[in-house]
Amino acid sequence: MKSAFYRVRTQWGNGKTGLMCLIMIGWILGVLVYSHSLGNQIRYPDEKDYMDLAGHLLNTGHYTLDGTSPSAYRAPGYPALLASLTSSGASPFLVRIVQFILLGLSVLLTFTITRHISREAAIPAALFALFYPVGIYTAGTFFPQTLATTLFLGVIYMAFCRSFSLMTSLICGALCASLLLTVPSFLFSLGVVFVAMLFHIDRSHRKNILITLLSCLLLTIPWTLRNYAVSHRFIFVASNSGINLLLGNSPNTTPNAGVNVDISAYEEKTVGMNEFERDAFYTSSAVEYVKQNKLKAMSLYFRKVLNHFNYHNVLNTRSESSNMKDLLSLLSYGLLIGLVLLRLLMHRQWAMTNFEKFVVGLYLLNGLYAAVFFTRLRFRVPYDYLLIVVAAITLRHAWAGWRESRHNRQSAGPT
């Protein structure tokens, strides 16, 4: 009996593996209950856009918002995923389950990336990522950020955690293209990633970076050519950069307003314009506003940068706002930022790896870029999972320091 007990205990890794299995089972059950409770709800206007695009793509074979006119207003990656799932008979419940599977892959990638730097920090990173409230909430919506998180972490894993062989470079290029076709604003961050790769990758493999870049371009160019064919103007992926720029730079813009900005004065002037003409008009209007209000626009920009690190967004869909959600967001994001700040403060005692410096630098640079338009929590989610890596390594150093201090006190004995 005793030997049987020890065999079971050994198989379960002295309880650690068993505990992780119980945590995963609990998480999966929680996900199922949460997804079921949401039912067929579409809570945000953006969600309706993505669902409409997927529906028209499935039913007519055309990428259109209104069922008639060709559109490039939303990037095609996420609607294509929704259309493929719907064509297989997936209900909104099952679509949400797929999103949580993607979130699970993001957790696995967070674990793997962290383990590449510090094995001891890998499990804390996975647990933090698994229960990160903003990530869980986002996975329950029909937004592309969950898919983008998985793709982005996949790019980081391929670029910095593997030998950069020809196959790795091709996979990395495909992931980059998929990411851009899902959330085109990642173009800036991928540029930073490519620069960092030049310093990280062994000189003998640096030529493969060019292969990654070329494969990414080859996979995105067909959609750009399609956009030119239907609009007769260059649109890289999506035609919503103009309205996003105007929402972030207009007389009624506030740092935390997001899309809740009154731009009716501009909308009145676009009557009769098509989607692509409106995009160009909104872009020129935003640029003109900044030129005519330089000091005000600069002040607004820096306040938007600060708002990038906010735990709370002012939502147009009031039913989705609650004190409990804000509290969970504050506690989780506050802990994340607090640990990263501690990591920076203790950099002399706990030497930072080049990868950690890259993550923190990318996180800050993305905030500077995002504030050119407007900032939202869900836009930041993919980067938060990367920052979790640094936070977990901080915990590992703090725990090791506490154990060493305790051991030294015990060794010294009573004085």
Is residue 369 domain-resident? yes
Q: What is the pLDDT of residue 241?
A: 94
Residues 66 and 104 in one domain: yes
Residue 5 pLDDT exceeds 60: no
Query: Average pLDDT for residues 2-15, to the nearest whole number?
Result: 45
**pTM for this model (two decimals):** 0.91
Is residue 290 domain-resident? no
Please give the C-alpha separations between residue 142 and each of 22, 48, 50, 137, in angstroms, as whole numbers. 28, 8, 7, 10
Banded model confidence at residue 412, pLDDT cuts 50, 70, 90: low
- CA atoms of 387 and 332, how far apart (whole Å): 12
Is residue 60 domain-resident? yes
Residues 3 and 142 in one domain: no
Residues 21 and 162 in one domain: no
Residue 353 pLDDT exceeds 80: yes
Tally of residues, the chain: 415
The pLDDT tens digits of the residues spanning 241-300 come to 999 999 999 999 999 988 899 999 999 999 999 999 999 999 999 999 999 999 999 999
Q: What is the pLDDT of residue 10?
A: 44
| 253 neighbors 261 (Cβ within 8 angstroms) | yes
Residues 19 and 129 in one domain: no
Q: What is the domain count for the chain?
A: 2
Query: Average pLDDT for residues 55-75, to the nearest whole number?
Result: 92
Is residue 394 domain-resident? yes
Q: What is the pLDDT of residue 11?
A: 43
Residues 75 and 112 in one domain: yes
Query: Average pLDDT for residues 15-39, to the nearest whole number?
Result: 84
Residues 23 and 108 in one domain: no
Residue 404 pLDDT exceeds 80: no
Query: Average pLDDT for residues 306-322, to the nearest whole number?
Result: 76
Least confident interval from 174-183, 251-260, 313-322: 313-322
Q: What is the pLDDT of residue 1?
A: 44
* Structural domain harbouring 9: 1-38
* Closest by CA position to 148, among listed 390, 391, 356, 383: 383
Banded model confidence at residue 318, pLDDT cuts 50, 70, 90: low
DSSP 65: S
SS3 content of the chain, % helix, strand, coil (to 5): 75, 0, 25
Q: What percent of the chain has pLDDT over 90?
A: 75
